[in-house]
Structure 1
């Protein structure tokens, strides 16, 4: 728990009204009243000037009783000016600087001491000196009243001296008490601050811009015990190999205002510490040194885990690519022989065998498509996939895919519609990648659209962008699945739907789009269908600027 300890001297403006200042004015009035009573009892107090002078000694005290209750510094300054004015006027009424009341010129100094503040004491001294100067100047330039008779002058002088002496004595006692209290308070605060700094988990340092240590607080990390000495250069705390890095960090802190650097301590090269530096002013740098070994080990473990994951992923990609190549060779033979059997090139076969050969060939084509997808993804992940750009009409590539998928749509009972402009969509792109994008999007849409649903394929130009939009009226995709789609081997839908693919379709679409400098976006809600939009910057701008607005037409395939 941290305690709030005020550094403001006791009884200063801004806090509670200073009781000592109030009692000081009350004591002045009491002593003055006692002196006036003695003079009246004598009786020697016979002149109006003498009465007025004594009243001028009481007026600042009465005003001080009221102003001392204020918390404003201006009110306390006014107290001192009142005492200065009262002392000057009382002296001028009783013979000037040589008269019996001249000692009251010290009243501002006494009142300032009672306030217990150095700045007030300086102001009180200045006002007292100014009052003396004013009285001297008035005595030279003005015609002052004559001094009072000897008996009266002696009585007035005694009252003035006693009130001033009592006032100064009490004020010095108050000032000394406050100085002692302030000293104790500061010592307590310094002790608490040193204790707090000493309990820091890190080592706090103060250094010169050149790198020499001035002082340090806190616990030195392992390897630096006994190494933190005033006058030692910061770079000497590190191993010789790391010293240039510390010196560079010092220069950076001076120029940029802050720097951080890690280093191995000279006393324990196997450990690792971190130094943070901040520039306080051109003559001072502050900083902290902490044990960063655990953090460094954690970062090293994370780096190693990342490297291991990347290595494993690369190994997986190589394995899939190699296996795909190995599978494609016998698969081509299987497909070739099954095609020969299907076409009865060596003579007629029983109907059942012909049906089996057709199934073998169809299954082989499906497996070959999967293998090609795996090969494409492995090339993309290895950054070895190359686009073969050429100029062609995007409508032809998309229409060819729709004709290919027409049979699957008819078997599923899904209406496959195409909306494309009458004018050519001349693009410069990879024809095979374009077909693969359309094929994967339409295949996915058909897979998730129930019987009686609709899949609509739209293609049009938007400035330099070709937009290919495939929308279906299928089951839709949940928000959780949307976050995963587009990553390799990630699928949405139920278990039966996920079993119908590899999870590479949309990831290949996204990859092919990004290779062209484009993007893929998916919009979907459960039960409301899905819309996938692919935007590719592949349009021929010379033609795109003059082509008319597209008119939708249905492509029958």
Structure 2
């Protein structure tokens, strides 16, 4: 992975799997950079320390993705999705729960799972996002939490919506592209197989359970009527 990181940064081609892994790391580091930029901007308001702590918490999963450089395995990726869930719940709780300006971040486990692009992780991310939403609702109902003032709420809402939409959009494109490429590869493989069985010199028949001919490939012997 570390050799592929060098190739990625220098523009050299690398194996598709490793290139996809590096895209995941770059996406996470980009997310962390956005959170730190937002944190620095809010220092000029000045913002409540709980708000700054919430943004710092949301930057940590981004930096945690560096672990994939040293060990990119299913357990590590699963742990990363859980990490997104924990810190997203912390950030949303610190800023007012489901009624707060960072409420959209309850879905960050699902967004991160989409970026990781594995079916089992997407299911886990969806479940954890739902759990985060329920926790955020209970926090808001319970009361006694800090709510940002109007100015803080505006900037936090802007930051959360922009980063979420941008992050999901950037993360979804490679996932859709890879699925499209797999579908194209499957279609090409089917076309090659059909060409082979059609052009071979023997006759290949496919029958249904009643003995009727479903399809025929190749050349029929002289005098044999398949109709």
Q: Is the 8 A contact 1:21 1:68 kept in 2?
A: no
Q: Is the 8 A contact 1:18 1:69 kept in 2?
A: no
Separation (CA, whole Å) in 2 of partners of 1:194 and 1:68:
42
TM-superposed CA distance for 1:69, in Å, is 6.2
- Greater fraction strand: 1
Residue aligning to 1:367 = none
Separation (CA, whole Å) in 1 of partners of 2:168 and 2:151:
26
TM-score by length of 2: 0.80
Separation (CA, whole Å) in 2 of partners of 1:181 and 1:144:
51
TM-superposed CA distance for 1:154, in Å, is 1.9
2:39 pairs with 1:36 = yes
Per the alignment, do residues 183 and 101 of structure 1 end up closer, same or farther by CA in structure 2, a change over 3 Å counting?
A: same
Per the alignment, do residues 188 and 150 of structure 1 end up closer, same or farther by CA in structure 2, a change over 3 Å counting?
A: same
Residue aligning to 1:108 = 109
**Which residues of 2 match residues 112-127 of structure 1 at below 5 A?**
112-127=113-128
Q: Is the 8 A contact 2:35 2:56 kept in 1?
A: no
TM-superposed CA distance for 1:25, in Å, is 0.8
Q: Is the 8 A contact 2:106 2:132 kept in 1?
A: yes
Q: Is the 8 A contact 1:203 1:217 kept in 2?
A: yes
Residue aligning to 2:55 = 54
**Which residues of 2 match residues 446-461 of structure 1 at below 5 A?**
none
TM-superposed CA distance for 1:68, in Å, is 6.8
SS at structure 2 position matched to 1:217: strand
SS at structure 2 position matched to 1:209: coil
Residue aligning to 1:78 = 79
**Which residues of 2 match residues 50-449 of structure 1 at below 5 A?**
50-67=51-68, 70-140=71-141, 142-224=142-224, 227=226
After superposition, give the CA deviation of every residue in 1:140-199 in whole Å (9 maximum; x if it has no partner).
Answer: 3x4552212222222222221221111111012222222222222222222222223334
Q: Is the 8 A contact 2:207 2:214 kept in 1?
A: yes
Per the alignment, do residues 184 and 66 of structure 1 end up closer, same or farther by CA in structure 2, a change over 3 Å counting?
A: same
- When the two structures are aligned, how many residues end up with a matched partner? 212
Separation (CA, whole Å) in 1 of partners of 2:210 and 2:202:
22
Separation (CA, whole Å) in 1 of partners of 2:217 and 2:135:
55
TM-score by length of 1: 0.35
Q: Please tell me whether Structure 1 or Structure 2 has the larger radius of gyration of its CA atoms.
A: 1
Q: Is the 8 A contact 1:84 1:107 kept in 2?
A: yes
Separation (CA, whole Å) in 1 of partners of 2:128 and 2:196:
44
Per the alignment, do residues 135 and 119 of structure 1 end up closer, same or farther by CA in structure 2, a change over 3 Å counting?
A: same
SS at structure 2 position matched to 1:205: strand
Structure 1 runs not aligned, ≥5 long: 1-9, 230-557
Per the alignment, do residues 170 and 197 of structure 1 end up closer, same or farther by CA in structure 2, a change over 3 Å counting?
A: same
Per the alignment, do residues 193 and 72 of structure 1 end up closer, same or farther by CA in structure 2, a change over 3 Å counting?
A: farther
Per the alignment, do residues 178 and 139 of structure 1 end up closer, same or farther by CA in structure 2, a change over 3 Å counting?
A: same
**Which residues of 2 match residues 455-474 of structure 1 at below 5 A?**
none
Separation (CA, whole Å) in 2 of partners of 1:110 and 1:68:
20
SS at structure 1 position matched to 2:204: strand
TM-superposed CA distance for 1:83, in Å, is 1.4
SS at structure 2 position matched to 1:18: helix
Separation (CA, whole Å) in 1 of partners of 2:203 and 2:72:
42
Q: Is the 8 A contact 1:92 1:144 kept in 2?
A: no
Separation (CA, whole Å) in 2 of partners of 1:203 and 1:76:
50
- Greater fraction helix: 2
Separation (CA, whole Å) in 1 of partners of 2:148 and 2:164:
20
2:20 pairs with 1:20 = no
Higher relative contact order (CA 8 A, sep 6+): 2
Separation (CA, whole Å) in 1 of partners of 2:69 and 2:79:
10
Root-mean-square deviation (CA), in Å?
2.5
Separation (CA, whole Å) in 2 of partners of 1:71 and 1:217:
45
Q: Is the 8 A contact 1:28 1:163 kept in 2?
A: yes
